[in-house]
Amino acid sequence: MTLRIRFYNDVYAYSRQMGKLYRENKAEKLPPKSEYAAAYEEANFTAEYFDIERLMVEVIFLTSTAGRESSQSFSWHKNQIINILKKNDLDALLSNLPDDERSEFLRDFRALKIDCFER
């Protein structure tokens, strides 16, 4: 299962869970959080994650929120991406991805217009 599919499965699962809590009038007791933030947290970055996976989740998150995140949130995730790219060559990171996954990633990454030369 690709990271993108896992991420969107987590978005869906959180949305279903919150829908159930709202129907039961229990949601107001929970701190507000978007389904995308919940899926990002579910990614549960541990030492087991490779830099390519970390990079992909950052790009998936920013692409998913489609500019709805706060400027502070965008800057934080952008800095995560830049920090990963400071330590790694993008082409080297992408070298082991299947062609279709690499193409999708690059399309999303370019759409974010993150200047990699800020490194």
pLDDT of residue 57: 93
Neighbouring residues of 105: CB distance < 8 A, sequence distance ≥ 6 = 56, 59, 94, 97
Q: Which two tokens stand for residue 55?
A: 């990079």
Model confidence at 18, in pLDDT bands (50, 70, 90)?
confident
Q: How high is the mean pLDDT of the chain? A: 85
pLDDT of residue 119: 41
Count Cα atoms within 13 angstroms, Cβ side, for 87.
10
Average pLDDT over residues 28-36: 78
pLDDT of residue 118: 47
Q: Domain spans of the chain?
A: 3-118
Digit-coded pLDDT (tens) for 54-101:
999 999 999 988 878 888 988 999 999 999 999 999 999 999 899 999
Model confidence at 116, in pLDDT bands (50, 70, 90)?
low
pLDDT of residue 86: 92
